Chain A
């Protein structure tokens, strides 16, 4: 029974971090959104167990927590890949052909929007305006921004991350 216990140690560490975040914000007005942001940082996504922990910790109904999580596209209830590919679907990007970029990405990653690859490496999302309209059409991969894209650029960019 040589079960590797790194995962449980990791889980415990994450939970401790979350508890600390909740304790820091508890009792302040409007605490929910900052806590959700930090929780998403810690876990990468916001599964039911995490939302329940936050609801109980901040004394906010779970229904309200879920309502807020489901309202904002920045929050996710599904696990995210190591590399989060986000295509801006704001008006400027959309008219400059963001739809074509997204189609190409679906093909290159073999993923649909809001899906995560089985190896946990990539997830694909379409988001609202990220405010880089001058670079339209834009996509981001984690913190990296790629602008003035044409569909032909896509495969090359993805390959780079596949090999990282």
Chain B
């Protein structure tokens, strides 16, 4: 590629053609503040905080969008530039509540960070400020008072997820980000994926917190509180305590959960192994007995609700398996309760999830038995980290520990559920062994790993050819489903995760600012933690996990049994759009 010669702040450099000024400056170690810019997601040059002076240009240029050209001379911190940035920032701040101390995003707010970077200590402008009602949904809370209209949430919702339930409404000072007709988000086809939350630079979007409920359950001597963290939690949690991105913290996480006072600490990975047994069997049944194909995974509640709204005709393709943590909730309140002699009514099940859609999922009436919800409370990775901080626990100094019996530690196949392609790989490990009738050594299905939009793989086992596909992010899911519907793709099995990158970059994971995500692929970095855990696991196939074989021996007989169907499977609801 041709290099372009430019001068930034008097420093001569050459950068590849097509670079923006922001990229070129970054290479020279020059910081240019950004707010609305989110690489590949929101590239609209709207907020003007990144303006720079380009010699010969009439107006200041938005560095995030402006491409370099031969001989260009750029000033990133001239008095004119600094004055413009300060004025822009002060205008934004003049309409932003100054209650950082009690904000969810305090110390992890991009507006706060830019204000500090620019050294703004006073706001020269005074005027009206907006007063918006807070929209508190089952999963997501919107507080437009803190919104700076950067439109990152709109872009991710509309363009990446193709959900598109929010947009800018009205104009001028009255502009807000809202659902159509300003209806609550819960009345729209929002799927609760929470990608808007992790895209938000401020505290305008957050999850609905359930930590108070969990603290109350733990404090209640009549309750037996059982917790389970999802696979992806261990891949992100460390970031809340200063670990580099991609550091797995499984052992410390288990210890922290015990220290918080939960009565039992199990691992959702175990339930992921159980899911593979049920879903793998379902897949083979459908293939061998002429069932509806392709079978589509049902672990991701964001995807499920998306399918219910957008593709009701495809509900028959969804696996009837409950998502892993829901399966586990059902097992805890049945098998475990019986085994330990605990009244299921006294058990409170808590799931720590990288996901906001799980909060909505947990309150689905179909996910429970005899009036008891399978899962009582879902808290996000962020909420869990906050509980650890609430409890005064020094996370970094914790010793590692294992998960509690009778389920213990899970297989490597369970842990990779947290990344895109992981459910597929885990399933293929088991299905291939079943079809081959032996324990194969071909464990790593590299073709389904990574962050390509749609991955297609063909696997041969026991004389059967299985054609499978993986899509992550709902825009990609939509593309794949359209191909299946048109007949362009003929597949046996599809894995879909609602969030781009899968659960590791779910809407409930720690929020990394754009100053980080614009320069690294967070999806790939966090997935490294997942795959290193798998690689080091003593057991890497779900069907070889002794906790699972025992569970079938003691309780469920075999995958797909009547009892398994009663407790581990569910059904779906066709939902219109804006009924």
- A residues with a Cβ closer than 8 A to B are 48, 51-52, 56, 61-67, 70-71, 77
Contacts and interface: CB of A to CB of B under 8 A. Distances in A.
B167 to A, nearest CB: 4
B513 to A, nearest CB: 26
Contact of B180 (A56, A65, A71): A65
Interface of B is mostly: loop
A45 to B, nearest CB: 13
Given A61-B158, A61-B164, A66 B171 contact: no
Contacts of B178: 63
B165 interface: yes
B459 interface: no
A20 B165 CA distance: 26
A52 B169 CA distance: 16
B168 A67 contact: yes
Given A48-B180, A51-B180, A61-B158, A66 B578 contact: no
A22 to B, nearest CB: 17
B132 to A, nearest CB: 15
Nearest to B158: A61
A67 B163 CA distance: 15
Nearest to A71: B171
A67 B165 CA distance: 11
Contact of A63 (B166, B170, B171): B166
B227 to A, nearest CB: 37
B115 to A, nearest CB: 29
Contacts of B211: none
Interface in B150-178: 158, 163-171, 178
B165 A70 contact: no
B284 to A, nearest CB: 37
Contacts of A67: 167-169
Contacts of A61: 158, 163-165, 167
Nearest to A49: B578
Contact of B169 (A48, A51, A56, A71): A71
B158 A70 contact: no
A64 B578 contact: no
B111 to A, nearest CB: 23
B180 A66 contact: yes
Contact of B164 (A51, A52, A64, A77): A64
Contacts of B170: 70-71
B179 interface: yes
Contacts of B165: 61-63
Given A61-B165, A66-B167, A70-B170, A52 B578 contact: yes
B181 interface: yes
Given A52-B577, A63-B165, A63-B178, 15 more contacts: A48-B180, A48-B181, A48-B578, A52-B578, A56-B577, A61-B164, A63-B167, A63-B179, A64-B164, A66-B167, A66-B180, A66-B181, A67-B167, A67-B168, A71-B170
Nearest to B175: A71
Nearest to B163: A61
Contacts of A51: 180
